[in-house]
């Protein structure tokens, strides 16, 4: 299924979109020792939404996720929690 894909660059926890959609991909980059932790994507709000994806972060390292086919479906918005010294690019379509 072809859809438009948007890229969101984040370096702090925030709401990416208030609409439903599909997670298509994710790139996480950690900068320094403060980057230890995890990136969490929640459907809906900051604390009450279902976790649709979670990945550890690394010191001076990166993680890539590319979801084949139709992606991971989410309803009612997407919130991302990002630790200090980490930035991510999230692909949503």
Kindly tell me if the per-residue pLDDT of 16 is higher than 90.
yes
pLDDT at position 1, please?
59
Q: Is the pTM of this model over 0.75?
A: yes
pLDDT at position 46, please?
78
The angle formed by the CA atoms of residues 19, 23 and 24, to the nearest 5 degrees, is 130
Query: 4-15 pLDDT, tens per residue?
Result: 899 999 999 999
| Nearby residues of 47 by Cβ (< 8 Å), 6 or more positions away | none
Cβ pair 65, 86 in contact under 8 A: no
Query: Which of 7-11, 30-34, 54-58, 71-75 has the highest average model confidence (pLDDT)?
Result: 7-11
The angle formed by the CA atoms of residues 88, 89 and 92, to the nearest 5 degrees, is 130
Determine phi and psi for 53, rounding to 5 degrees. Answer: -160, 140
Domains of the chain in sequence order: 6-92 (2.60.120)
The b-or-e profile of 2-32 (16+ CB within 10 A means b, else e) is eeeeeebebeeeeebeeeebbbbbbbbbbee
């Amino acid at each position: 299924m072809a859809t438009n894909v948007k890229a969101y660059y984040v370096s702090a926890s925030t709401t990416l979109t208030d609409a439903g959609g599909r997670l298509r991909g994710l790139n996480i980059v950690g900068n320094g020792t403060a980057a230890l932790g995890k990136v969490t994507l929640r459907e809906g709000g900051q604390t009450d939404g279902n976790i649709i994806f979670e990945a550890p972060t690394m010191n001076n390292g990166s993680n890539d996720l590319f979801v084949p086919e139709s992606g991971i479906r989410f309803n009612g918005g997407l919130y991302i929690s990002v630790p200090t010294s980490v930035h991510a690019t999230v692909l949503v379509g």
